[in-house]
Amino acid sequence: MQESKRIQGKQYFDAIVVGAGFAGVYSVHKLRELGLSVRALEAGDGIGGTWYHNRYPGARCDMESLDYSYAFSDELQQEWHWTERYASQPEILEYINHVADRFDLRKDIQLNTRVSGATFSEAEDRWTFTTEAGEVFSAKYAVMAAGVLSVALGCRRGASPVKSKFSLTNSTRTPLQSLLGPLNAGHRGCWRAGPCCGPRQCLSHGRSASVRPAGDGVYDRRPCF
């Protein structure tokens, strides 16, 4: 694995990952597997993304537990046993922490670090990330794994539908994305744009997912079957 370095207060890595939810944790694993130095920057004081931040009663996965598991390791799939068909938030958080420990990923994840800016230098062909604490990171590759479900952004019932949409095809993939595979690699579902409960459009996950506002600070991740 290539070594990271620090020059005049700036920390250099091959790749910076923003976020340490399911996509971010996998990205750290895959980038290390490729022999690259990597640092994941996570704003929270624990990993897990939406499953760390959203702990309201009834929060659980809206697709079957086995389909929500990582698929990059046969050993991991065989040793972990889900207790419910649709896993609850505490069990999902326990699972991702188990993955981080099993593959020794925590040493490359920096918690309590909120990214405040990112700029790309054409001349250097590198990204520069700054944090609210004043740290500066430089990387050739940037993986944005901050997710869309950790913080409610003012979307409320009765709001006008979001008309914009996006797609990511093989022809628009960057070389790094081609190496990493699907952003949530191991999840057998995929992210798609689709209708949710309520008069608006948003990102939904898998075949029966719904994302419903549940107050000012969280998203409702209870199944909507």
Number of domains in the chain: 1
pTM of the model: 0.70
Query: Mean pLDDT lowest for which of 20-34, 88-102, 191-205?
Result: 191-205
In a domain, 117, yes or no: yes
* pLDDT for 51 beyond 60: yes
Burial tier of 120 (Cβ tally within 10 Å: 0-12, 13-18, 19+): exposed
In a domain, 71, yes or no: yes
Residues in contact with 46: Cβ distance below 8 Å, sequence separation at least 6, in sequence order: 52, 97, 111
**Residue 35 pLDDT:** 96
In a domain, 225, yes or no: no
Angle at CA of residue 21, ends 221 and 128, nearest 5°: 135
**Cβ atoms within 10 Å of 135's Cβ, excluding its own:** 16
In a domain, 182, yes or no: yes
The pLDDT of 83-103, averaged and rounded, is: 97
Q: What is the pLDDT of residues 152-193, one digit of tens each?
A: 555 555 655 555 444 433 343 444 544 454 444 444 333 333
In a domain, 160, yes or no: yes
CB 152 within 8 A of CB 218: yes
The pLDDT of 65-79, averaged and rounded, is: 93
In a domain, 44, yes or no: yes
**Residue 147 pLDDT:** 82
Give the domain CATH number at 19. Answer: 3.50.50.60
Task: Count CA atoms closer than 13 A to 112's CA, side-chain side.
Answer: 2
* pLDDT for 78 beyond 70: yes
CB 187 within 8 A of CB 195: no
**Residue 9 pLDDT:** 77
**Residue 148 pLDDT:** 74
Domain of residue 140, residue span: 5-220
* pLDDT for 97 beyond 50: yes
